[in-house]
Amino acid sequence: MPEAPPIPDARTRILDAAERIVQAKGVPALTLEAAAREAGISKGGLLYHFASKEAMLSGLVARLAEYVQMDFDAVLAAQSGPCPASRAVLAWAFDHPEQVCEEQHRAGAVFLAVFHHDPAMLGPIRAVFAHIRDRLRADALPPGHALAIMAASDGLFFGALFGMYEQSEAERLAIRTALEGLLGEAGA
């Protein structure tokens, strides 16, 4: 008989609950009481980990920033050849769309909740994306090429997140091919 997965700690359950609430009911529904109820703990238990809604939101954005940094670093490490950061951004945007979809919705819940509360709290995730942009600059592509790849990837992310449009597999392939064209000879 397979072992059951370990039960996440209370802090993780609270953050997961907060994400689910925003995804299912929207930002206004995210309260300390709702997060405690959804996580299956008392409000006192929640307050032990997060003294305020702002502290809970800070926890969400810190966890997201850590995840994004680790995920990007892993995808970057898997790249070979020239322009590794640009290739990593392409892989991030186009490889494993089923996995990316779930991650997009979880990240989107964090972005929405934190931005709605106080956009300045997005500092940790902004720092991660500044690091990624620095890595893109190191690819030494012609001006704008690597950043266009990142901007297009971000556009795909937010388009999917907000249900603005969906691309067919053929369209996704055409977009990826166009973006790979920005790698030029350096990326060949």
In the numeric block, the tokens 């720092």 are attached to 127
pLDDT of residue 49: 95
How far, in Å, CA of 87 to CA of 180, rounded? 8
CB 74, CB 131: distance < 8 Å: no
Q: Is pLDDT of 96 > 80? A: no
188 secondary structure, DSSP code: -
pTM given for the model: 0.85
pLDDT of residue 5: 67
Give the whole-number percent of the chain exceeding pLDDT 90: 63
If one compares 101 and 153, the residue with the highest pLDDT of the two is 153
How far, in Å, CA of 77 to CA of 84, rounded? 8
CATH top-level class of 1-51: mainly alpha
The mean pLDDT of 16-26, rounded to a whole number, is 90
At 120-165, the pLDDT tens digits run 999 999 999 999 999 999 998 999 999 999 999 999 888 887 888 8
Task: Give residue 188's pLDDT band: very low, low, confident or very high (50, 70, 90).
Answer: low
How far, in Å, CA of 159 to CA of 167, rounded? 10
